[in-house]
Structure 1
Amino acid sequence: MSLPASTAPNSTVPKPKAIIGVSLKMYFGYERTLEYCREVATIAFAHPAVQRGDIELFVLPTLPVLPEAARILGTAGAATGAQDIFWEDEGAFTGEVGGKTVAEIGGRYAEVGHAERRRIFGEDDRIIGLKTAAAYRNGLTPVLCVGELQQGSVEEAIARCTAEIDAALNRAQSLGPAGRTIVAYEPQWAIGAPEPAAPRYISAVITGLDAHLRTLPGQADSRVIYGGSAGPGLITQLDAAVAGLFLGRFAHDPKELKTILDETAARPAAKKVAA
């Protein structure tokens, strides 16, 4: 049984002030991904906020690159993980990769429930919950993506996303102990759009999701970040409840990622986030 959030064993672990994650999706080939990771490692190694642990930085490359990416980024205080995992750890599942293998080759994160996985591959709440459980039991931090299909009210977005969070975590916790979760709020209508959702809208939705997440057993150290056409200039406009950003194409240029790291480190709201 999971302990209440206030008494969970890891509840005293200080939280990083901000989280910046990058998904490379399938945009880069093997060598280009390694080049990117080397550039990011150089930035991370020289960045005081990353080195102090004020910013938790991770990159999710395509799976064949993961072992070398983990080695490159790990030397600079950053980390890496997989863009997807299977819900079983091993067995006759041709073409799939389990969380056990991801952890063995250096991954520390596993993205689950991205809108593209839901839309293109038909993944539903049951599958996403099983994958979340697989991440927990293999010591991976799930990056659980949630988001409404169409733009509406803040209240509608919170209702849709809390339902997705509860569906995933309830199923995962029925299968074993929970762990830390990074919830990536990505409104589906903003993914791939020219601009992200409005800062006030993002802040209001994530404030609601963060408050809900903190009521769930075993989630005292869990955080909510924003994704969906996020890029430079956004983090400075967001409320302290927004722990950071989950970046896509706008961070595929390492110079842009450095700008975002600088903005994150300088964000006054970051100082308001309780440890």
Structure 2
Amino acid sequence: MKKMLLPLFMTKLIFSLVAGSLADADLAKITSHLKSPPEKPWTWVFYGDSITQGAVHTHGWRAFPEIFAECLRYENRRPLDRVINSGISGHTSEELLNGLQYDWRVRSLQPSVVIIMIGMNDIVSGRTPEKFQNNLSNLVDRIRSDGAIPILQTSNTIQKVENPTKPYQKNYLIRYERLPQYMEIVRTVAREKDVILVDHFSHWSKNAADPDVLASWLGETIHPGGRGHREIATLLLKTIGMYSPQSQTLRYPPEDKRRNPEK
């Protein structure tokens, strides 16, 4: 029996080491790609809801997928790489997992990387935490089976609506109360599936705890504004090793001297 225990133990150990290295292997692939000749392009797909789409509340500023695209294609000199925003306002994990939606918005594009942010609408759309976790896990499995690298992101923090009277305001309050639980599910799936995680919720909780800072990062109660999208893009870039403190794309727009004349 002793002769059999050692090989069995070693087998489990090796399996554990391999199983625990998927996220690191994915990061290594991304690093290798960024150093490869630009004539070997990748397709990067952003998949999510209105926050990913950058709907309305950026007030003309770039959304984080656009910022990412500029940093990748111009600043990192990869002009042939494609960055496609497949975010759609109002969507939940159910739509992202839907076969027709996924086939058109992801699979048909043959991506190398799929960057996901979802959950804000699941909270108020009848998706229980268990259902949300199951959908997210299945989505990660589907992306991997298609040969792409999945990256999971938690959402930004949001403002609390005091004394809501209108239905949409009540939904905002429900989101505020339940968002931490749903974002913990994203972390759990990332850990269990060994997926790269970009934890915006933790970053915002720490750095935008002041209500005035949070208000400056948001375009409205739950949607990031231009500054918020810059924060999201910055943390994503840092997580995958693509951030540069010299980035011009990540700087705030210069003041318009015609409106702010020097005195």
Higher gyration radius (CA): 2
Higher strand content, 1 or 2: 1
TM-score class normalised by the smaller sequence:
0.3 to 0.5
What is the TM-score with the length of structure 2 in the denominator? 0.43
Greater helix share, 1 or 2?
Answer: 2
